[in-house]
Structure 1
Amino acid sequence: MASSIETLKMSSHFRSISLPSRSHPLTTTVEEHLSRLRSSQTVSCSSSASQSLGELENLYDCIDDLLQLPLTQQVLSHLRSLAEESLDVSLQLLDVCVNVREAFSQMKECVQELKSSFRRKKRGDSSFYFEVEAYINSRKKLNKLITKYLRNLKKKGPKKGSLNEATFSVLTEAGEISLSVFGSLLGFLAVTCASTKPRGWSRVSKLLEAKSVSCDGGEETNEVQGLDALLLSLRSSKDINNQAGNLSKRLEELEPSIQEIEDDLECIFRRLVKLRVSLLNIVNH
């Protein structure tokens, strides 16, 4: 009987403790970042990619500040199962972030190799067309990797918590939006032009569940897709002279854009590691 009374007292005590409410300044700031991300999580060009990743950085900075509050730590340490679930999601996000970074790293290598070949061409090397073919083949291999990453991404994601506490709600939505941004970044690199679709691209389209960008329609392609279309045209026409200036410009602009996204992803990775450490400290407290 004494044990039952003590249990009831503890239960009442936990109910009297509340995580920072949605009116808390930190929670309000987090909500503002989430709101901006909801409207900008689709990556259509390199600048929008950097914008979304920058917003994610700010979001996780605020979430970490929220997790450092003594009241938040006190409550989360008692809600162990939900804290452990958030910990599992943090590991999933780290895995996906690593995959996206790997995809962009491979794309940068493709561009760097093509730039080197283009410089040799300007010195009279006639093998450039073979390098164009090598680039297109490399893009198809990368696309297979993207298909795999997107398929794995669809299996991940936070579960809806049974409690309606503000911090868990924030962690859940931050995880969902992060996965959406990561998926959109993979779509940014994917081969989407109908004329360059490698076998199996239909699976990527279904995984993205987004409107594809048409190369011959009225919509503007992103930088990667524009380069793909130009090189496919060069491979068909065997005439590089008329497009040399355009190709050189695209290559010079694309490499630093990809590098910037890589740097942003590194920042996100560090923040996700920091989030995981904070959650581990709370769970093990």
Structure 2
Amino acid sequence: MVYSSKRKSLYHIRSISLPSRSHPTTFRIEEKLHKLKKWEASATTTTAEEICNGLLGLNELYKCLDELLNLPLTQKSLSLRQHKGWIDESLDISVTLLDVCSITRDFTSQVKEHVKDLLSTIRRKKGDSKIQNSVAKYVRFRKEMKKVAKKLNANVKQIDNRIPSLPLIEELDNRHALALIRVLREVSSINISVYNLVLLFLSEPISKPNSKTWSKLLDQCREAFEEQEDNRNELQRVDVALNNMWKCGGSSELREKMKIAQNGLEQLESSMESFESSLECLFKGLIKARTSLLNIVSL
């Protein structure tokens, strides 16, 4: 499966130009959107640091969005019957965004647990068979994670295709309502861009297990990236480090390779903790935005 880390825009994004007299939040949300668009345009790799930057920016954006949706002027503008269809569609999209966020967060937590298990085994030097079992377990999980990431990406793509079809009421006299609708569209679009990079990170290729010798578990991964060391993300570095650890020669070399693998696993554990925390915040932000929209519908 091939993902694009730089999602092509399917529609022309205009300047939002929210009415300045509404609230200082209108300025902040424009700034957050502009910053995230710059991040999206420059997102050409899938390192944990880059993805975390996108997640942090998205969380800040949702904080501003929550403030904006709870302004009296916003609630009055969007509560009109003519906006009901658009808000209903936005609520449907929010359900899928929540599902993807929740499942992705759970997977990052599971990656972290598998990494902890590997670290514990290597640190205690429990023996070749123990390390073999831990790595085999890790590889099996990576394969399953890749399958689920593929399904999630299909769900995200469906949302991406729906966003441009959502009607914008160009003839609307209420400038604030029109700007708010554009904001919600752009927030969903940026959200999908961040999801795409997270899913790309989690679905990096893993080699197929070989029943004859566990040292071949990661051969394909090693060969694919041995000439691209600078471009490897944290998952890929761990793959190669584990493979090199087992294929090395004498005991002194093994200790060196084990240390490299341990460092890579520690970095990956830290990255997964950041992912998990950021996705948890994002999930809460999505819940708040959905609740605010539901409150507007009930007015």
What TM-score bracket applies, with the shorter chain setting the length? 0.7 to 0.9
Residue 221 (structure 1) shift? 0.7
Cα-Cα RMSD: 2.3
Aligned partner of 1:242 in structure 2 is 256
For residues 84 and 260 of structure 1, what CA distance do their matches in structure 2 show? 33
Aligned partner of 1:173 in structure 2 is 186
Over 3 Å counting, the alpha-carbon distance change for 1:126 and 1:198 in structure 2 is: closer
Aligned residues: 248
For residues 282 and 131 of structure 1, what CA distance do their matches in structure 2 show? 51
For residues 34 and 49 of structure 1, what CA distance do their matches in structure 2 show? 16
Aligned partner of 1:119 in structure 2 is 123
For residues 49 and 94 of structure 1, what CA distance do their matches in structure 2 show? 18
| TM-superposition CA deviations, 1:58-107 (whole Å, max 9, x none) | 10111111111212111111121112222222222111111211221221
Residue 197 (structure 1) shift? 4.5
Query: In structure 2, the residue corresponding to 1:127 is in which secondary structure?
Result: helix
Query: In structure 2, the residue corresponding to 1:163 is in which secondary structure?
Result: coil
For residues 200 and 154 of structure 2, what CA distance do their matches in structure 1 show? 12
Indicate yes or no: 2:292 matched with 1:278: yes
Indicate yes or no: 2:282 matched with 1:268: yes
For residues 244 and 148 of structure 2, what CA distance do their matches in structure 1 show? 24
Q: Which of the numbers 121, 130, 153 marks the counterpart of 2:133?
A: 130
| TM-superposition CA deviations, 1:33-63 (whole Å, max 9, x none) | 1121122244622222221111111101111
Indicate yes or no: 2:226 matched with 1:216: yes
Instruction: Report if aligned partners of 1:90, 1:276 keep a CA contact under 8 Å in 2.
Output: yes
Instruction: Report if aligned partners of 1:67, 1:73 keep a CA contact under 8 Å in 2.
Output: yes
For residues 179 and 280 of structure 1, what CA distance do their matches in structure 2 show? 22
For residues 36 and 191 of structure 1, what CA distance do their matches in structure 2 show? 27
| Unpaired runs of at least 5, structure 2 | 1-15, 171-177, 210-223
Indicate yes or no: 2:270 matched with 1:256: yes
| Unpaired runs of at least 5, structure 1 | 1-19, 200-213
For residues 148 and 255 of structure 1, what CA distance do their matches in structure 2 show? 25
Q: How does 1:1-285 map to 2 (within 5 A)?
A: 21-24=17-20, 25-41=24-40, 42=43, 44-78=46-80, 79-121=83-125, 123-124=126-127, 126-157=129-160, 158=163, 159-164=165-170, 165-192=178-205, 196-197=206-207, 215-218=225-228, 219-237=230-248, 240-285=254-299
Over 3 Å counting, the alpha-carbon distance change for 1:143 and 1:236 in structure 2 is: farther
Question: Following TM superposition, where does structure 1 have runs of at least 4 consecutive aligned residues deviating by more than 4 angstroms?
Answer: 123-126, 235-239
Structure index of larger Rg: 1
